[in-house]
A = this chain, B = another copy of it.
Amino acid sequence: MPTDTKERILDSAELLFSSQGIANTSLRSLTEHAQVNLAAVNYHFQSKDALVQAVLFRRVNPINQRRMELLTALGQPSIGQILDAFYRPAVEAVLAGPEGRAVARLIGRLYSEPGDLLAGQVRALMADTFRTFAESIQRALPGVPQATIIWRLHFCIGIMAHTFGAMELIEGMARGRIAYDDPEAILRQMITFASAGLRAEGESTCAAS
């Protein structure tokens, strides 16, 4: 339960933006949901765009910081360890509390949200993390061309973004055969798949690791 106005606005914005989309969420419905006055949004944040940015930063910055901590704590990491450092902070943020689903959708839609304004923000938000992890993977896989590393790291991000952004669709299509109730199991599925993908040989035959 949030206490002050600013936090209540952020929490409601996160929930509504992620479930209905940003453009579909009016400041009126937002302030009604947060039980604050309409003008409070424009007082605490300057505009709706700035509010979007604040919602994003609050969740994604700590995740990226944790990713860096985990990665630098490893000396000469394996591919599996690098992926664990990348995925785990995000999966755990999704775990934490009942607002997890909203955070998941927020992260899941981060990369493909339309609009030039947001695209620039996301790029700035992710650039450092992306570069650091790309370099780490390159060191672990010295034989793989740089362009291939870049494509494959984007594929790893795509796996996560889709797992987080299409939860309802995935659950619905699975008809109970898979579920989101065990985050550690999902993490394991993601790492196993992405790990093999990153280490793939060009002609998709199997070689010694």
Contacts and interface: CB of A to CB of B under 8 A. Distances in A.
B150 A178 contact: yes
A123 B19 contact: no
A162 B158 contact: yes
Contacts of A162: 111-112, 154-155, 157-159, 161-162
Nearest to A80: B204
Given A23-B24, A163-B154, A148 B189 contact: yes
Nearest to A114: B21
A172 to B, nearest CB: 5
B23 A21 contact: yes
A166 to B, nearest CB: 4
Interface stretch (A6-14, A54-62, A194-202): A194-202
Q: Which interface class (under 10, 10 to 19, 20 to 34, 35 or more) fits A?
A: 35 or more
Contacts of A113: 21
A206 interface: yes
B155 A159 contact: yes
A132 interface: no
A168 interface: yes
Contacts of A111: 162, 165-166, 169
B112 A112 contact: yes
B108 A112 contact: yes
Nearest to A186: B151
A19 B200 CA distance: 33
A195 B203 CA distance: 10
A39 interface: no
